[in-house]
Structure 1
Amino acid sequence: MRLLVKAPAKINLSLDVLGKRNDGFHEVEMVMTTIDLADRIELVEKKTDEIILNSQNRFVPDDRRNLAYQAAEVLKRKFAIKQGVDITIDKTIPVAAGLAGGSSDAAATLRGLNQLWGLQLSVEELAEIGSEIGSDVSFCVHGGTAIARGRGEKITKLPAPPNCWVILAKPEIGVSTADVYRNLNIEKIAHPNTKEIVQAIENQAYDKICTYMANALEDVTFSMYPEVLHIKQQMEKFGADAVLMSGSGPTVFGLVQHESRLNRIYNGLRGFCGQVFAVRMLGESSENSY
């Protein structure tokens, strides 16, 4: 049996860091939503008891370092699955970009193998398993739009934001999330107003979403990688309605409601940035994205 599963990227409309936890992780409060930029995961049953992972992208590991591999491994272990799987990742989401590409691949693998192996696990059960693999995996299992708290594993669903264009630009660098958090000074960060952005989403108030979008990690990443700040400044100059770094970076995204402005911003960014995408806000749940 062969199954194709879509693995959409996420952006952070808001990211707050509330403090350091006893387990070494940080307590976060994030408003995340999915966008129509996605990897494709192909799952093929194997009669032999092994996990084989394939990708044409040289930056994607094909062993236990890969979160999709770990997803298959944890399901096999938990449910004593004695058959294997071939996992092929068709990569579109940039790697180490702040867009949860690896986490979304893992979530898609969990959802797909749940069907392929007839496990009949609920979305909540899959999300709980996902939390063992990575902080963003639980959100990616649910998809759509949500507040993520704790390490990112406590999910509260939200309605989809008003539809708009999302322009993303990633410089030719990767950013280590661990390094960004290591350089974070909790005492000095500006905290986003999560309550206001949630209310704006619930009221479908596009202008207020633009006003209250914020990321507590921006200043840290900007100080480490000035080129990320440069992209944000250029995107604002080109006329995006609101601009923010996603996750720990380095991808910067802009929201644009009017298509007439889209090409100018896209072409302006392509002049100096290698990876630029113009996609739609997805915002709806990806639980059944097969």
Structure 2
Amino acid sequence: MNKEITLPAPAKLNLFLHITGRRQDGYHELETLFQFVDLADQITFRARDDGEFRLSPQIEGVSTEENLIIKAARALRGIAGDTSLGADINLTKNLPMGGGLGGGSSDAATTLIALNALWHLNLSYQELADIGVKLGADVPIFIHGEASLARGVGEELEAASPSECWYVIVHPQVHVSTAAVFTHPELPRSTKPIHHTDQVITGLNWQQLGNDCQQLVFNLYPSVAAAHQWLLQYAASKMTGTGACLFAPFSSENEAKRALASLPKDYRGWVAKGMNRSTAHLALAKQLED
């Protein structure tokens, strides 16, 4: 293995998101179908032997100490028990913050996967996921790297195979606070769990299922609702996570590109391919072969 690794940190979509209850500790019980897309941050890691972590560039509004990349790196080093382990880390940030695409969690997961290889620790994905879940509920899905039906607080994962279609993803240039959504008194918290999960796992009916956070976010953030109405002109639009990003499936890349071509100038948008295997895992496997 080289002393340098560059891996993507892919976005995820919540193809549906149900909130089935709330635990006594305040965490919400969820039921959601995760799929990756080929839209991603890119992160380069170079090994150091002086115990330093140097992240560049700095993300506006996020201190280095609070960045999930640095938190993940330090947590992994703590498990390794070698204080000399360090890294220079360069982040190319393509995913919007507060967009519901899981960018911070994906960055943390890619950090754990990459440094595990770079430092020759040979920890299993489950061991990495046990570290990652302490950083964020979504981190384990990125570490395991397979499209999954998730339950509980996101830790119960069952492999899924939804159709790998093309998507238009739209960001209405607003930051949605996940904490504000999940603590809001008007958030639905009692959706009945799905019984026929085999249909969901094979991707037969996820488009018929909704996002329990969506209407609340539309009420709180009118610009997200407006972006939803724009996207509805072309295909069935849905919000991912707690927003602000919306997505819609298309049968071909060309159809998706035609819709994106008329994107209002106030929005950011992308055409992305659904992936049932994380591009981070695919890229790491290729580098290990090389």
- The two structures have a TM-score, normalised by structure 2, of 0.89
Match of 2:88 among 67, 86, 103: 86
Instruction: Report how many residues are paired.
Output: 280
Cα distance in 1 for residues equivalent to 2:250 and 2:40:
20
Distance 1:287 1:194, change over 3 A: farther
Query: What are structure 1's unaligned runs of at least 5 residues?
Result: none
Letter aligned with residue 271 of structure 1: P
1:98-177 correspondence to structure 2 within 5 Å: 98-159=100-161, 161-177=162-178
Give the match for residue 227 of structure 1: 223
1:12-27 correspondence to structure 2 within 5 Å: 12-27=14-29
- The two structures have a TM-score, normalised by structure 1, of 0.89
Q: Deviations over 1:31-53 (max 9, x none)?
A: 11100101111111112112111
Letter aligned with residue 35 of structure 2: T
Cα distance in 1 for residues equivalent to 2:89 and 2:192:
38
Cα distance in 2 for residues equivalent to 1:189 and 1:18:
6
SS of the residue corresponding to residue 155 of structure 1 reads strand
Give the match for residue 232 of structure 2: 236
SS of the residue corresponding to residue 94 of structure 1 reads coil
Residues 169 and 273 of structure 1 are in contact (CA less than 8 Å); yes or no, is this contact kept in structure 2? no
Distance 1:163 1:288, change over 3 A: closer
Cα distance in 1 for residues equivalent to 2:35 and 2:145:
7
Match of 2:34 among 10, 18, 32: 32
Give the match for residue 257 of structure 1: 251
TM-superposed deviation, 1:114: 0.7
Give the match for residue 274 of structure 2: 281
Q: Deviations over 1:110-152 (max 9, x none)?
A: 0001111111111111111110111110111112210122221
Query: What are structure 2's unaligned runs of at least 5 residues?
Result: 285-290
Residues 31 and 193 of structure 2 are in contact (CA less than 8 Å); yes or no, is this contact kept in structure 1? no
Give the match for residue 199 of structure 1: 199
SS of the residue corresponding to residue 261 of structure 2 reads helix
Cα distance in 2 for residues equivalent to 1:245 and 1:85:
36
Cα distance in 2 for residues equivalent to 1:28 and 1:276:
27
Letter aligned with residue 231 of structure 2: M
Cα distance in 2 for residues equivalent to 1:128 and 1:122:
10
Distance 1:77 1:261, change over 3 A: same
Runs of 4+ in structure 1 over 6 Å off: none
